[in-house]
Structure 1
Amino acid sequence: MANASRQAAWEFWGTELKRRREEAGLTQDALGRMVFLSGGYIGQFEQAIRKPQLDVAVRIDEVLQTDGFFERTWRKLIDDKRYADYFAAAADLEPLATKICEFESMIVPGLLQTAAYAQELTLAHNPLAADKFVQDTVHARLDRAIILKEATRPLYWAVLHEAALRVPVGGPSVMAEQLEHVARLMRERKILVQVVPFAAGACTQMGKSLKLMEFEDAPPTSYTEAVYSGNLLDDPAVVKRVQQDYDLLRAAALSPEASRALIESAAEDYRQCVSTT
């Protein structure tokens, strides 16, 4: 389902929520209290600014006695096979964000990946996958990156561990292209990237990934990912803790200028490997 049609469908979900809430004689605050959220969150659902978690949709059905309507519709909308089930909700929020901060310890973040790099990662996770599956996955990842090319692009800040530069995904040619792509985006001032060097030693979130997103008219959200699972978190205390971890990562990282020099040096090393083979 294309992004525009998906957004229209979520707007329908929100319109139905508002209609059925009003039919039940409930204010946003009243419904929010009954499903353990603030009235502001209910308003964001109704305006399709934010998408609810599944358990919230279930509780709304119970309170409004809608016979599973919101749960069934939620499941249909979230069932976007371009992305893993646990990541789809986070992917939907990226185009709405005014600021995105990411940390990756082993790979280049999805929004910065080239087609060749994304293909190698997809095949590493799915070695027996059909060509169409691989192509669809790569195209979906590249589609997400369009937000960095738009005039209204979010402020994008990534912190990478040096291991992400050194693990040869797809070999020297793929890695050289990938790192040159990141360096070019940095030179064009479209993104900020910092690298945590091996010399920094142990750091918070080692072996993990995290994403922080801020919005114009909605509270910030954090997304963390593990093996075949992801957590989209919007509890203010949890988001604050994740932000503190991200601040620690930035403090351990090289400056953007030194980071770009390291990325360009690593890209050149890979180019040298290509030229000698």
Structure 2
Amino acid sequence: MARRKDIDGSMSVPTFYGKELRWKREAAGLSLEGLLEGSFYGKSYLSDIEHGERRMPMDLARHVDRVLGTDKYFERNCEDVRKARRGGHAEYFSNVLDMEEHATEIEEWGPALIPGPLQLAPYIRAVVLQAHPQESEEAVTAKIEARRARAWRYEDRVAPENWIVLHESALRQPIIPPDAMAEQLAHIVEVACRRRSVPQILPLSSRAYPFMMGSTSFLTFADAPPIMYTEGMYSGQLIDDPSLVSQYAKAYGRLKAAALPPEQSLRLIERTAEEYRNGKQLERPNPQYLA
């Protein structure tokens, strides 16, 4: 009961939307379970939406409208809630921000860049300025702070389990000065040693492989179906169709099979960091990796 008193619809668009959802549900005499009957979602998922802690996916909004007879109210407003800005992040990324806070496992593919929550400030600055060269210093700083705030995903003891596949080019492309690049790679090793994430490296010598495109993430939940998110430089797409997510997940399994084993991958990251520290010219690596 205490949690019910905490909802303040004036705090944000999501909390206003969630408060309205709870009012409509209770006016219809439905429990959380009753409203969810016939959907794939769990009680805690809907409760989080009512408290403004999660955005409502479109399929659930349509289900709610059908059950409550609300004439597409939640479907119409679902997009506005999704667009509610989270400071320092792109609008299209807002749904993923909410979802990763509730995920039990996250699997990622980085074809050219280190994943955002693993990036340190110099690396973030370089990436942001390449995509937005005209940004003010205040806006760049806000983006750096917002991305570093997501470091909990790899560093907290209660973070989701993380599996990361990186193309070796993400290690070999020195987008920041050598000392900073060495620190960035050492950070990946340090985080991996906390055993909340497992990195794998797809070697440069690989030929054709799945996901020869933009970065991709798979999020698994205890109370909702898994989803996939793929992102380019200025856009992102959330995929929640179960059959399509399953097909992509199988392709991700093949990608992991093509990558170096985790222990060998860590040694390669460590060795590359040491090469940066020593100012060694980074050439195309010898295909004979450390045994």
TM-score normalised to structure 2 length = 0.79
Are residues 78 and 45 of structure 1, via their aligned partners in 2, closer, same or farther at CA, if it must alter by over 3 Å? farther
**1:129 to partner: Cα distance:** 1.1
**1:241 to partner: Cα distance:** 1.3
| Kept after mapping to 2: 8 A contact 1:101/1:158 | yes
Q: Select 1:190's aligned residue among 168, 186, 196.
A: 196
Would you say 1:257 and 2:257 are equivalent positions? no
Would you say 1:213 and 2:219 are equivalent positions? yes
Are residues 215 and 30 of structure 1, via their aligned partners in 2, closer, same or farther at CA, if it must alter by over 3 Å? closer
Q: Select 1:16's aligned residue among 12, 16, 20.
A: 20
Q: Select 2:56's aligned residue among 43, 52, 63.
A: 52
**1:13 to partner: Cα distance:** 3.0
Worse-superposed segment, 223-232 or 266-275: 266-275
1:109 is matched with 115
Matched letter for residue 46 of structure 2: F
Are residues 71 and 58 of structure 1, via their aligned partners in 2, closer, same or farther at CA, if it must alter by over 3 Å? farther
Give the gaps of 5 or more residues in structure 2: 1-7, 282-291
Matched letter for residue 271 of structure 2: S
**1:176 to partner: Cα distance:** 1.1
CA deviation profile, 1:182-218 (whole Å, cap 9, x unmatched): 0111233232100000122121111321101112222
Q: Structure 1: how far apart are the matches of 2:252 and 2:78? A: 36
Q: Structure 2: how far apart are the matches of 1:40 and 1:13? A: 21
Would you say 1:168 and 2:169 are equivalent positions? no
Q: Structure 1: how far apart are the matches of 2:159 and 2:214? A: 26
**1:242 to partner: Cα distance:** 1.8
Aligned residues: 267
Would you say 1:228 and 2:258 are equivalent positions? no
1:240 is matched with 246
Q: Structure 1: how far apart are the matches of 2:82 and 2:248? A: 30
Instruction: Provide the alpha-carbon RMSD of the alignment.
Output: 3.3
Q: Structure 2: how far apart are the matches of 1:150 and 1:128? A: 34
Q: Structure 2: how far apart are the matches of 1:171 and 1:257? A: 27
Q: Secondary structure at the match of 1:232?
A: strand
| Kept after mapping to 2: 8 A contact 1:54/1:71 | no
Counterparts in 2 of 1:40-189, with a 5 A limit? 40-41=40-41, 44-48=45-49, 50-53=54-57, 57=61, 63-65=69-71, 71=77, 74-75=80-81, 78-189=84-195
**1:78 to partner: Cα distance:** 2.5
CA deviation profile, 1:15-68 (whole Å, cap 9, x unmatched): 4213214535778799779xxxx4344853354275224686589679514867
Q: Secondary structure at the match of 1:45?
A: helix
Give the gaps of 5 or more residues in structure 1: none
| Kept after mapping to 1: 8 A contact 2:181/2:276 | yes
CA deviation profile, 1:77-104 (whole Å, cap 9, x unmatched): 6222421111111112112111111001
Q: Select 1:267's aligned residue among 243, 263, 273.
A: 273
Q: Structure 1: how far apart are the matches of 2:86 and 2:225? A: 24
Identity of aligned residues (%): 35
Whose helix fraction is larger, Structure 1's or Structure 2's?
A: 1
Are residues 56 and 215 of structure 1, via their aligned partners in 2, closer, same or farther at CA, if it must alter by over 3 Å? closer
Q: Structure 1: how far apart are the matches of 2:249 and 2:198? A: 17
**1:229 to partner: Cα distance:** 1.7
